[in-house]
Amino acid sequence: MSAVEYRRAKPADYGDILRLQSANYIANLSEEERKTGFLSAQFTPEQTAQIAEDLGTILAAIDDQIVGFVCAFRNEFETGSPVIAKMLASYDRMIFEGRPLSSFNSYIYGPVCIAREFRSRGLLRGLFKALKKSLADQFEIGVAFVSRSNPHSLQAHIDGLGMSEVGDFECGGNVYVVLAFRV
């Protein structure tokens, strides 16, 4: 495998991000494909641009091909997502390192997406490291949520990246696990 370049997304990359997102969105995958992970939600082109231009979207590129991305956005970012609203509303009851999530200066991590043919090659760890480095001087912690029905992603984030499970919540008939980590 050629060297992986980790960098912030630019406007010219947004189309590739949206294509990769669509290729891994749960509604576009077979039951078998879902077993190796999926995205529970999709951002619009406008939201993709807003996120990339704010805290940022970190890309993994190999030979100029975008093969992965991870997004980060402020708690105040208006996604219109009932899932995110429900998660934020639960911050007072979720404890990380002895404190409620609401007491930390935090950001929302995710989604993260890696092209199927490039999974299990260390890209998740590389994206995570690059994102944390880019935000280290702005936040104390990052917070993620993963669908309980996505065990592959849960394992990758808890066992692979060392994130801590701090609680869960239900929205739209789905249970989501909330994970926290130090930046």
Q: What is the pLDDT of residues 95-140, one digit of tens each?
A: 999 999 999 999 999 999 999 999 989 999 999 999 999 999 999 9
Residue 79 has pLDDT above 80, yes or no: no
If one compares 84 and 177, the residue with the highest pLDDT of the two is 177
Please report the domains of the chain, with CATH numbers, ordered by start residue.
4-182 (3.40.630.30)
Q: Which of 181, 179, 183, 178 is nearest to 131 (CA)?
A: 183
Element (H, E) at 65: strand 65-74
Instruction: Give residue 1's pLDDT band: very low, low, confident or very high (50, 70, 90).
Output: low
Q: What is the pLDDT of residue 107?
A: 97
Residue 78 has pLDDT above 80, yes or no: no
Q: What is the pLDDT of residue 117?
A: 93
What pTM was computed for the model?
0.91
User: At a CB cut-off of 8 Å and minimum separation 6, what does 134 contact?
Assistant: 8, 56, 58
Count of other CB atoms within 10 angstroms of residue 26: 16
Residue 42 corresponds to which tokens in the numbers above?
């999709």
Q: What is the pLDDT of residue 65?
A: 95
